[in-house]
A and B are shown apart, each in its own frame.
Chain A
């Protein structure tokens, strides 16, 4: 049986990568009401993503070449086209709304996949130590030393582009970030007296991990996960932008931007609104992530 590695506190060594202790200033100490606009954007985003049909007033994939590239505010017998129409006469507003669904689905699922994989591997590495730790953490280092976007592009290209593969790939290439934090936190927890005591009393490994380690590991993972959701939204859009993500005609902010780029001179609204949507939601998530980090973890300001 492998014993937990109580005597190997290598925390100091492992954390030399970013020896950073940011002093929060008044500027960063946001109160909840300063978070209000960002929270509102996030809530709207989630509602839109869950039920885009409530708000969108057209079928996002319905083409009508008679009304292609119409200005925002254009309206005809079928209703108003709030953000104009695209090169196939589809309603840009409805497509932005439906794009939110893809964005939320991919970002949340991939964060879930990478968080669970990374969290579990990190806990295993931190708890059992020795060879298990070496293998897992070296593997994490190696995955981290392949430029992330290139790794994602290679994997999607091999597996073939689809919504499901996108989630799997973003999840699989992103786990090392969680693993590093989970491993560090597990090491710190295992070395605390109460955990040593529980182990000395004969608690089984499974019980120690579930009852004592996981509750300690989850808060920092949530902090990383929140910020990662924003990044994943950008990466989903990036991969879709270069044609390796969500495939047309499904509305995705990334594909809308790449289609819109071809009509920059005639129709500024095609690329502007999906870009604005990405920007607003990512700013909000970043602000929210900073806020949660400060609330959950006021002592350590490491990134």
Chain B
């Protein structure tokens, strides 16, 4: 319990730090009002807006106000649409969630199976086929993968729609695009951590004792190589949101990524800021969950940390 409590406290501190960084970035340009005001705003309009947003107060007061609001869950109003940013985000989030889930399922399935196969059959032809796939996946920029998929599968073969939302079929290409990099990363990590275990003495002992190959793999090797895999999967889940910006731009997918681009081009900074904070909260939350999962998978971690 002590371990869990400490990790949660750390996560809250991290969120506080992230909010601080975002606050300072928004003040980097000197005057956030100039960023938010339309190009042709008069000096009086700017003064009114400055007062409305509380930006005429000292920086310290503004900062406390900003942090306080975040922890109250109040992320402000969209400057363009004049509704709470939370509502706008809530209306777009399900689309990104669909996309991220699709990508996660693909990258978990293909990443772990490619990684496992190339570890078990190292030196064999299976590995020689799979390793270049991992390498290519790692080096393909997401937007090129997406464009190639559109070019071959929708423009030439008319198998899938090239953009927009409409049923499961329209989800396939964006999910593949978003999944491509994570798949390669997960495969690489699975492969190296499984290989790490294969060379351990306990594996040889178990095998010579007559433990079946399948059981050995699932019960012994995979369980012991799970921690690095969980870590990397956690990081990849958090990265999906960043990747969604590119993927959603390519496929005109109306999720948070597209919202980010739209709100930047309309200079709707409360919205941009809220998306960045949400992305970081997801990242920190997922990391917290993976850390708690470690303790579940490997009790040694919990005991070790509590003892120290």
- What residues of chain A have their CB less than 8 Å away from a CB belonging to chain B? 13, 16-23, 25-27, 138-139, 141-143, 145-151, 153-155, 157-160, 230, 234, 237-238, 241-244, 254, 257-258, 260-261, 264-265, 268, 271-272, 275, 278-279, 282-283, 286-287, 301
Contact = CB atoms under 8 A, between A and B. Distances in A.
Contacts of B122: 25, 27
B139 A283 contact: yes
A22 B196 contact: yes
Contact of B279 (A146, A230, A238): A146
A147 B239 contact: yes
B228 A261 contact: no
Contact of A26 (B123, B272, B276, B287): B123
B141 A159 contact: no
A257 B147 contact: yes
Interface stretch (B16-24, B47-55, B103-111, B213-221): B16-24
Nearest to A244: B264
Interface string B150-191: 110001000000100000000000000000000000000100
Nearest to B278: A150
11 contacts: A20-B196, A21-B196, A22-B195, A145-B283, A146-B18, A147-B238, A147-B280, A264-B150, A283-B136, A283-B139, A286-B139
Contact of A154 (B25, B193, B227): B25
Nearest to B150: A264
B264 to A, nearest CB: 5
A158 B17 contact: no
B141 A17 contact: no
Given A157-B272, A242-B246, A142 B148 contact: no
B156 to A, nearest CB: 9
Given A148-B242, A261-B250, A25 B195 contact: yes
Given A18-B231, A242-B249, A264-B147, A150 B275 contact: yes
B132 to A, nearest CB: 10
Nearest to B228: A20
B276 A151 contact: yes
Nearest to A261: B147
Contacts of B246: 149, 238, 241-242
B113 interface: no
A219 B250 CA distance: 39
Nearest to B140: A279
A18 B230 CA distance: 10
B131 interface: yes
A138 B14 CA distance: 8
A139 B17 contact: yes
B14 A145 contact: yes
Contact of B155 (A20, A154, A158, A264): A264
Contact of B151 (A159, A160, A271): A271
9 closest A-B pairs by CB: A275-B144, A149-B242, A142-B17, A22-B192, A147-B242, A283-B139, A282-B139, A147-B279, A157-B264
A150 B143 contact: no
